[in-house]
Amino acid sequence: MTQVLNGDAGTLDGDAGTRRLSELTAARHAAEQGDATATEAQHRRGKLTARERIELLLDPGSFHELEQFRRHRSTGFGMEARRPHTDGVIVGWGTVDGRRVFVYAHDFRVFGGSLGEAHASKIHKVMDLAESVGAPIISLNDGAGARIQEGVTALAGYGGIFRRNVRASGVIPQISVMLGPCAGGASYSPALSDFVFMVAGISQMFLTGPDVVQAVTGATVTQEELGGPYVHAAKSGLATFVYEDEASCFEAVRELLSLLPANNREVPPAVDCLDPVDRRCEELLSLVPAEAGQPYDMGAVITQIVDDGGYLALHEDWAPNVMCVLARMGGQVVGIVANQPMALAGVLNIAASEKAARFVRMCDAFNIPLITLVDVPGFLPGVEQEHDGIIRHGAKLLYAYCDATVPRIQVILRKAYGGAYIVMDSRSIGCDLSLAWPGNEIAVMGADAATNVIHRKRIAAAVDPEAERSALIEQYRTDLMHPFYAAERGLVDDIIDPRDTRAALCAALEMLDSKQEALPLRKHGNQPQ
């Protein structure tokens, strides 16, 4: 009896063929199981193994592994005696909700997940495949950085990853999931990706660790204090999402993928919408106070207008004075940028400008229409903001909107003052439609401040300065800030009943669905840094 193993290679004796298959099966099993002691140690750290993570992330049985038998070829520093299969990274493709994705996962059990030449080559291969096929790439990061024993070849491996990150930027979604330490140059790949997930208690990111910080600056700091999830979520803005455990993190990754297209040549997947597109939002009348200075939760407004009240907020803890969310309206994915009056009165500052600008560019890259909900008193004043570059950073948001070609709709809920009004996707910078609620106030500044500037001498000379000031404020409001002022000049397309906001937006999105716009021929723009 003979068994054909390869049509081109001919046949092998049955016993030899069975033996080869047995050896292959044993090798594959050994590669998949890894070292039992190392697996136990990984579990003691409260972490899953690389393969367990892939199983949680992908649809059951969908994973196809590549280069499972790859080994390093280093011969120095004792490495010749340790040549485990996979070389510390699992790579391949599978599906999430039936849609193809590519994935690589550092295996901390093998050389601490450190990156060497073979390890990097596997990652390069799967990144190249993801770009050429046009499917998202997801990295599950849990590694000790560059493999010291392999020297400069390890560093060159990281360079190859970074180059591919940049080449794929805006072409396919890139998602980094931090599930362990990420130090030094290794942290640049997550920083170059579109979304960064971190898990509390097990993930950290920093360029220089606590020991180096102490040696150079004298400051004593823990890994968690230096680069833990909540530091990057609230202070650096590097972490897009933070979750308490790996299972909830992977579920959130799957949710995010459901809102993204596979690549920049597609649109996000639509779903059947059971929430009527013309549903009136009665609660909006009571949610938003008429008085411009009274705070309210913009999140509650968004809940009212989107499908079934559901949305995914990005960077919730960083720059909370602006909200950036993905949601659905009429079954279609939209990106919403909104001032949040509950935080710093909804002003724009450096962090908010950075956050919103990056979100706008991401939505534009992946064909996600933009809705901008405006209730902004202006840019945050202050010496620190000016010296730290509020002009430069605010210009990033302006640039992002002006450069965007997706459908863009602005809704002014209450106030929109000064440069912040312009920057928040006004008609003058190219939004397709501008809608406003009946109580809108659009002006260079608030009536109080404007009156003080314009009529300072007249107020000072008045018999009753306060009465004169009050009368002049009211006159300014009547002449220059009445709800129809901008509409009369064509800067607002329609003034709508707040209760009809959802219906108006859904109708506008449907109308703009076939929008086509081309930018001037150029290599690329030179956006503010």
Q: Which of 351, 420, 443, 503 is catalytic?
A: 420
Q: Is residue 420 annotated as a catalytic residue, yes or no?
A: yes
Q: Is residue 185 annotated as a catalytic residue, yes or no?
A: yes
β-strands 64-66, 89-96 pairing: antiparallel
Query: If 0-12 CB within 10 Å is exposed, 13-18 middle and 19+ buried, where does residue 369 land?
Result: buried
Q: Is residue 184 annotated as a catalytic residue, yes or no?
A: yes
Residue 451, number of CB atoms within 10 A of its CB: 23
Q: Is residue 419 annotated as a catalytic residue, yes or no?
A: yes
Q: Which of 185, 237, 389, 430 is catalytic?
A: 185
d(CA 204, CA 233): 12
C-beta separation of 506 from 278 below 8 A: yes
Q: Which residues of 70-100 are buried (b: 16+ CB within 10 A; e: fewer)?
A: bebebeeeebeeeebbbbbbbbbbbbbeebe
SS3 199: strand
Residue type present at position 516 = Q
C-beta separation of 337 from 425 below 8 A: yes
Nearest 5°: CA angle at 411, between 313 and 375? 70
The sheet carrying 241-243 orders its strands as 64-66, 89-96, 99-106, 137-141, 174-178, 195-199, 241-243
Q: Which of 134, 419, 430, 439 is catalytic?
A: 419
Residues with Cβ within 8 Å of residue 124, at least 6 apart in sequence: 157, 160, 161, 164
Q: Which of 112, 134, 184, 389 is catalytic?
A: 184
Nearest to 118 by CA among 150, 159, 164: 150
β-strands 332-339, 322-329 pairing: antiparallel
Report residue 461 as tokens: 């000379």
Report residue 190 as tokens: 């997550």
Instruction: Show which residues are catalytic.
Output: 184-185, 419-420
